[in-house]
Amino acid sequence: MNWPAEAIWEAVAPLVPGFTVEVLPEVDSSNTELMRRARAGRNEPVLLVAEQQTAGRGRLGRGWQSAAGDSLTFSLGLPLAPADWAGLSLAVGVSVAESLHPAIRLKWPNDLWFEDRKLGGILIETASFGEGGGAERYAVIGIGLNVAPRPAQGLSTPPAWLRELLPYAEAPDVLQLVAAPLVADVLNFAQAGFAAFQRRFEARDALRGRAVTLSDGSAGLAQGVSATGSLLVHTAAGLQAISSSEVSVRPAAP
């Protein structure tokens, strides 16, 4: 595949000294690879594209299956020191959705949806480095996007794919659209926090105003997100602010 590594590097290097773009034909998982490097003391800024992942990972211990060419799988590794990490995955979702298409919605905390089907997901992990004490951590921001049709078998949410919206898209084109704006948005988040993204999230919130059920057994009406990115749900017990990424949420069956 012909990846736009040079063009991305030219756009990002002025913002992030030492930035590199790397493409691996195969790796277990681009997130696992960058976390391994971080644990070995490497915390350089990098965009790592995996053409094929043999052990892709999703949130909540789930797997992430993808076939080479039919999806875009990459991780952005950056040393970051935001005052508050809350809402980073929402900010990343906002950035990717805005770069791709107005019809893409965001399902809290970090799924990209099209017509209530899952187009992509975000997995953020962080590693500490240095002598401890400092606020800076190495953030690994992993993104998987379906580009071509994929079977629904084994998925809890039926899939969507980008060619429904961008008929001729190939994975490298999609990377070209999202990569540089993503870096800029993540740097903006590190400076200004989630507040700068709250309105933009609201404009694409897939759950707002809908009845939802939560994996902790509660149910209610989704009311948007707070200034720190918590999901606000009006339940029988009152307005709940859900911040734990261990809780999963879905629209209630109609």
Binding residues for ligand BTN (CB under 6 A): 29-31, 53, 56-59, 62, 64, 73-75, 111, 121-123, 142-144
**In angstroms, what is the minimal distance from the CB of 238 to ligand BTN?**
29
**In angstroms, what is the minimal distance from the CB of 106 to ligand BTN?**
12
The residues, ordered by sequence, that sit 6+ positions from 221 with a Cβ below 8 Å of its Cβ are: 209, 210, 211, 212, 233, 234
CB nearer to ligand BTN: pick between 12 and 112: 112
**In angstroms, what is the minimal distance from the CB of 22 to ligand BTN?**
13
CB nearer to ligand BTN: pick between 130 and 149: 149
Q: Residue with CB nearest ligand BTN?
A: 121
CB nearer to ligand BTN: pick between 159 and 196: 159
Residue 149, preceding peptide bond in cis (omega within 30° of 0): no
**In angstroms, what is the minimal distance from the CB of 61 to ligand BTN?**
9
CB nearer to ligand BTN: pick between 157 and 235: 157
CB nearer to ligand BTN: pick between 173 and 196: 173
**In angstroms, what is the minimal distance from the CB of 2 to ligand BTN?**
20
**In angstroms, what is the minimal distance from the CB of 66 to ligand BTN?**
7
CB nearer to ligand BTN: pick between 31 and 95: 31
